[in-house]
Amino acid sequence: MAEARVWSVTTTTPTEEDAREIARTVVAERLAAGAEVTGPAWSVFWHLDQLGEGQEWRVTLKTSAAVRDRLVARILELHPWAGGPEIIATPVAWSTEGYVDWVEKCTAAAQ
């Protein structure tokens, strides 16, 4: 089975401005074709062996297979949470050919 050509990469941040800054930077650098910032969301989680709760903002980025790993590395550089923030990459199983072409064209400059 061939690797997906388009990927959806998601992370969460503690503030809306952090989310917007990641979105702006990686799209400007052509590591993602587009970004969506949503939130706030209320999260419950384990952290440092303690139960925690807090507000988070979600950043969803659309990228090509060619630059996915570079996008993830850049998110890690920009993210305010040191030590491994949530970053999830999901292959897009199906999309129109026009959308795939758009994502690949937008991210080609970063290759």
For position 111, what pLDDT does the model report?
A: 77
pTM, two decimals, is 0.93
Distance CA 10, CA 29 (A): 17
What is residue 1's predicted lDDT score, i.e. its pLDDT? 54
**DSSP state for residue 108 in the 8-state scheme:** G
What does the pLDDT look like over 50-100, one tens digit per residue? 999 999 999 999 999 999 999 999 999 999 998 789 999 999 999 999 999
Domains of the chain, earliest start first: 6-110 (3.30.70.120)
Alpha-carbon separation of residue 26 from 4, 5, 55, 67 (angstroms): 20, 18, 23, 11
Strands 34-47, 50-64: pairing is antiparallel
